[in-house]
Chains A and B, each alone.
Chain A
């Protein structure tokens, strides 16, 4: 039985071929933040397990979270979460078949960065003001 051979297809050029643009940067950022959130779930799990292990373990976890390094990681995590969330909303617009025009794509890419930065700053203002 003769199988049909796949036709030779053109290969798509990769990132370094292109000039950096807002849309490309936000696309890469979605993947990078998704990966950061993925790895960060270990910290959420560790924090919950510490809480479930009792006050001593919890205090240790809180001390680590409150250290300079801990706060830096938490800040990056909160920004990744906000950026990935707003970037995900952009994907929903595309999934509905809208927002593919050049100006719209550009506007949505900038919107992602501005809104996610604003949300992150807002979270940290509330955190620092209420503690």
Chain B
């Protein structure tokens, strides 16, 4: 047992510690996006299967239907948020050197944002008739 000789409460001592710093928030967001991903993945698979083998005009006609485009955007955004947190957990499990860990977590965030931005840009450009 530890003696509580410090002025700080047990809760105060652990706040902001741990590798994640904001673990419960991340845990919840990971679950929220996972639930969204189940629905959006099923839709995504149907869209991709429908696109297979289609020539350019037909494929684009499907992809730019407002409902399809919106659902693709939601899938991309939910997946990017989800995968960013998921990969951060993996980094925190395996990378223990503080400086390297911070760089890896940063690179992970940049990756998720870059992939998300490129995909969103492409879907919007197609939809708005670029």
Residues on A lying within 8 angstroms of B by beta carbon are 1-5, 7, 31, 34-35, 37-38, 41-42, 44-45, 48-49, 51-52, 55, 58-59, 78, 81, 85, 88-89, 91-92, 95, 123, 126-127, 130-131
* B11 at interface by CB-CB < 8 Å: no
Query: A2-B5, A52-B121 in contact; A88/B80 too (CB < 8 A)?
Result: no
Q: How many A-B residue pairs have CB under 8 A?
A: 88
* Distance of A7 Cα from B122 Cα, bound (Å): 53
Does the CB pair B60–A51 fall under 8 Å? yes
> Closest Cβ of chain A: how far from B96's Cβ, in Å?
13
Does the CB pair A131–B53 fall under 8 Å? yes
Of B6, B38, B80, B126, the contact of A52 (CB 8 Å cutoff)? B126
> Closest Cβ of chain B: how far from A53's Cβ, in Å?
8
* Distance of A40 Cα from B67 Cα, bound (Å): 24
How many chain B residues touch A (Cβ–Cβ < 8 Å)? Answer: 37
Q: Which B residues, 43 to 79, have Cβ-Cβ distances below 8 Å to chain A?
A: 45, 49, 52-53, 56, 59-60, 63, 76, 79
Q: Please, which residues of chain B bring their CB within 8 A of the CB of A49?
A: 118-119, 121-122
Does the CB pair A88–B34 fall under 8 Å? yes
Query: A37-B83, A52-B126, A127-B49 in contact; A45/B2 too (CB < 8 A)?
Result: no
Q: Which B residues, 85 to 121, have Cβ-Cβ distances below 8 Å to chain A?
A: 86-87, 90, 115, 118-119, 121
Q: Which residue of the partner chain B has the closest CB to A3?
A: B6
Q: Please, which residues of chain B bring their CB within 8 A of the CB of A89?
A: 38
